[in-house]
Amino acid sequence: MEYRYAYFAGGCFWCITPIYKMYGAEEVVCGYAGGDEENPRYEDVKAQKTGHRETVMVKYDPEEVSYGTLLDIYFANVDPFDSEGQYIDKGFSYTLAIFYTCEEERALAEAKIKAVEEEQGKKCAVALLPYKNFYRAEEYHQDYYLKEPEAFERELLESGRKKKAYIFDLDGTLLDTLEDLAAAVNYALKKGGYPERSLAEVRSFVGDGMRLLMKRSLPEGVSEEVLDSAFKDFRDYYSVHYMDRTRPYPGIEEMLKGLKEKGRVLCVISNKADFAVKLLMDRFFPGVFSLVLGEREGIRRKPAPDSLLAVMDELGLEKRECIYIGDSDTDIQTAENAGIDHISVSWGFRTEEFLKARGAGKIVTSPEEILP
């Protein structure tokens, strides 16, 4: 067996170590790379005096895990567009770099960086550099997550790498409400003498509140009076039939249970009317969420950040402690407007291709992928 060595600077080396261990690395060593000073000390590296970056040396068996897989792991666990450091850790020693040891590694890393840039439409802040040196860090840094598990957990939470609060969109993210929404839309349309809409059409209309859903479903150019009447019919029908076919998506309940067991704070925000949101929460997720906010007076609808900011304010949360999970371009814009990290889900009302085209960062295809 011939082991190989890979070198990645991904911010705090404490935080990167267990990730590579989890994915089959034989050994992961914390150290300092790329600077000119020999045998640098942690205090000097952290003070930006040596030109080194905090780096992990990954010892691996290429028969078991490829260099391409190591690159995938790296990009899945850093913010590749942050040029100032990672999460709460700022300064040159926390900036991103891949140190290649051969032409094959350089080509693979270059291709990965290009793919990420093309997918996201912006330039990566990952330096691609030839391997120059690596100095093993002080012993207390090695396997810190095993030596000081409680302190390590605090580091993950305080740095923002691991989130304290998970804030969810409702329709298309937690609950499949499409059939009940479509039934209410078509009841109102039929009552008004208008042609009904297909399930696919209603899917494309949802995401910006009930009234806008009804407006999009009506023929273009109808009066506000017609919209008011149709929206009243929609609400009257939906208030009785909102749970006829609505169900949690597969895996949602297990994912929420897993987050609760890990001590995470769970919240919901929605453009759906506040009364409907609370009724659905009481029916499907009683006692699960710390705070639930639907559309209400004085709070602008998403993509305005008001509801997200209201959750953070009421629960005393910092932006770095929160992550927002949703299924639409509206949800992406909401998170960006609030300045917090976000995850897009592919099982809801928008396709993965649609989400990518609207600037989605991390996209998950199953609820279990949300678990930390």
- pLDDT for 343 beyond 90: yes
d(Cα 264, Cα 256) in Å, to the nearest integer?
A: 9
pTM summary value: 0.72
Over the stretch 306-326, which tens digit does the pLDDT of each residue have? 999 999 999 999 898 999 999
- Residue 34, classified by CB atoms within 10 Å of its CB into exposed (0-12), middle (13-18) or buried (19+), is buried
Over the stretch 171-203, which tens digit does the pLDDT of each residue have? 999 999 999 999 999 999 999 999 999 999 999
Tell me if residue 89 falls in helix, strand or coil: strand
CATH number of 163-372: 3.40.50.1000
Q: Which residue has the tokens 């925000």?
A: 269
Helices 224-241, 274-284: axis angle to 10 degrees equals: 20
Average of pLDDT values for 269-291?
92
Average of pLDDT values for 24-44?
95
CATH label, 4-159, candidates 3.30.1050.10, 3.90.950.10, 3.30.1060.10, 1.10.3080.10: 3.30.1060.10
d(Cα 272, Cα 265) in Å, to the nearest integer?
A: 22
12 included as an active-site residue = yes
Over the stretch 126-139, which tens digit does the pLDDT of each residue have? 999 999 999 999 99
Over the stretch 52-104, which tens digit does the pLDDT of each residue have? 999 999 999 999 999 999 999 999 889 999 999 998 899 999 999 999 999 99
- Tell me what percent of the residues of the chain surpass a pLDDT of 70: 100
Question: Where exactly are the structural domains of the chain?
Answer: 4-159, 163-372
Candidate list 12, 30, 124, 267, residue with the active-site label = 12
- pLDDT for 37 beyond 90: yes
Q: Which residue has the tokens 């150019």?
A: 221
pLDDT band, very low/low/confident/very high, at 157 (cuts 50, 70, 90)? confident
